[in-house]
Structure 1
Amino acid sequence: MKWLIPFWLALTLMLSGCASTRWEVESDVETYATAPVIALGSSFRFERLPSQQQAAPAEVQDRIEALAQAALEKAGLKRDDANAQYSVQVGVRSTTVTDPFAPYPFGGWPGYGWSGRVWAGRGMYYGSGTRGLWGGMPYAPPRTLREVAVLIRSHSDGRTVYETHAASDGLTRSESVTLGALFDAALAGFPTPPSGLRRVNVDVMMPP
């Protein structure tokens, strides 16, 4: 029965790994900042577009702003609705895509399907996409395309002083963890980010 020892050891390691898994979220980030540079420690409050104010359910935007607030505070800002120096608008877009040209191992044509939802901001709308399926079953697992946007304006004159976007596609299971990592990536280098499109990787701990 000695052969059982490696088996149970491997099973134990596999189950312990399922409890908490480290994941690297790779993002493409593009940021635009104007002078003067936003001072660390400055205060902000969130503002919503009419579409965000009327979106249902309302708590969706609350969750998005909570993720963005954690990243903003990590970057050096602080939320103070009563004495805000800057207003912040945030948006999220998430779309799930299955590759129609993925190989199907059991013969037949690959299937195709997609679904999407756009949560808020940057000219986005809130709603549900459609789904479709043709031919055989798709072989490749679906990939989720996610994008976050952060827009910071001077509260005194409404001038846009900071704009940043982060986009990623992957197979991560947790929407909130991945979106939190995208907000962190979008604010990497704040308040003086490098110019141009760049790749930012953020390590996260995925839930079991």
Structure 2
Amino acid sequence: MNIHRSIRTLQRLGLAAAVLVLSGCASVYLVDNQVQSFARWADQPGVKPGTPVTVPQAPQIYRFDRLPSQKEGRVSTGQDELENLTAQALAKVGWTLAAAGTASPWTVQVDANTLRLPRAPWDDPWGGYWGGYWGPGFGYGLPGRDYVVTGQGQVIWMPMYPRMMMESPYYQRELSLVIRHASSGKVVYETRAAHDGRWNSTPGLWSAMLDAALRDFPAPPEGVRQVNVEVPR
């Protein structure tokens, strides 16, 4: 009896441990990013060739700059959301958005895009590329739908595929952040992050990509690197 009771106790403990492990895994998800950054702080007015590069140290202030395509209608609403998340990410590295009407030495331009595929490339039963659509701008996906509304107000819909093939969409996302010297317009910092996966678009996912893009700022290593960020569910 004691042996059987001990076995049952061990089984219950094992089950409890498994539940804890599974619940711990389910509390976060991983956003793995391919990041490449370029620092050109020497490309500032008045800096002579051969002069040691002075990397600006925090705190710094900046203002956002937009392309003409990012300023109109619903596009600007999506850009507002993206810039709000970018401001939060930049605040973590000591860069603060300048108050309205205040001059700033730097400008920041941010852009994001999403390619929605009906399924992951390796899930294609025909061994070919199914084709998807780039959604310019920034937007959040709508779960359970066959389309996504981007920050530019564009509805991306693929009715040519049977719904059974639309049950597991796959997303390829990219974002870029460019910092310029405000008075000269010269680019002094550029960074890009790319992430592929099935996760639906959320502020947490985009924040993770922004944090990854700003990893090692303002003096990043050369080349492409992988930056993983865990996001609470």
Normalising by structure 2, what TM-score?
0.70
Partner of 2:189: 162
Aligned-residue offset at 1:114: 3.3
Q: Does 1:51 align with 2:69?
A: yes
1:89 corresponds to:
109
Measured against aligned partners, the alpha-carbon deviations of 1:7-29 in whole angstroms (never above 9, x if no partner) come to xx79x9799779x7211110000
Residues 176-187 of structure 1 mapped to structure 2, 5 A cutoff: 176-187=203-214
- 1:30 is paired with a residue whose SS is strand
Measured against aligned partners, the alpha-carbon deviations of 1:137-178 in whole angstroms (never above 9, x if no partner) come to 328722111111100001122111000000001122342111
Question: How well do the aligned residues superpose, as a CA RMSD in angstroms?
Answer: 3.4
Q: What's 1:194 paired with? A: 221
Alpha carbons of structure 1 residues 119 and 16: separation in structure 2 relative to 1, 3 Å: same
Q: Which residue of structure 2 lines up, in the alignment, with residue 61 of structure 1?
A: 79
- Percent of pairs identical after alignment? 32
Between the aligned partners of 1:76 and 1:177, the Cα distance in structure 2 is 20
Whether contact under 8 Å (2:75, 2:137) holds in the other structure is: no
Q: What is the one-letter code of the residue matched to 1:131?
A: M
Question: Structure 2, unaligned stretches of length 5 or more?
Answer: 1-7, 43-54, 139-150
Paired residue for 1:102? 123
For structure 1, the 5+ residue unaligned runs are: none
CA distance in 1, matches of 2:80, 2:87: 10
Question: Which structure's CA Rg is the greater one?
Answer: 2
Q: Which residue of 1 aligns with 2:143?
A: none
The Cα shift of 1:179 comes to: 0.7
Q: Is the 8 A contact 2:115 2:133 kept in 1?
A: yes
Contact 1:112 1:134 in 2 (8 A): no
Q: Which residue of 1 aligns with 2:142?
A: none
Q: Distance in 1 between matches of 2:92 and 2:27?
A: 23
Q: Which residue of 1 aligns with 2:31?
A: 25
User: Residue 148 of structure 1: which of 175, 189, 193 is its match?
Assistant: 175
Aligned residues: 194
Matched, 1:73 2:73: no
Q: CA deviation at 1:132?
A: 4.3
CA contact (8 A) 2:109 2:179 kept: yes
Q: Deviations over 1:31-74 (max 9, x none)?
A: 11113423221110101111101142532111000111111111
Label 1:55 to 1:43 Cα distance change in 2 as closer, same or farther (>3 A). Answer: same
State how 1:112-151 maps to structure 2 within 5 Å: 112=130, 114-119=132-137, 126=152, 127-134=154-161, 137-138=164-165, 141-151=168-178
Point out the more displaced range, 54-63 or 72-81. Answer: 54-63
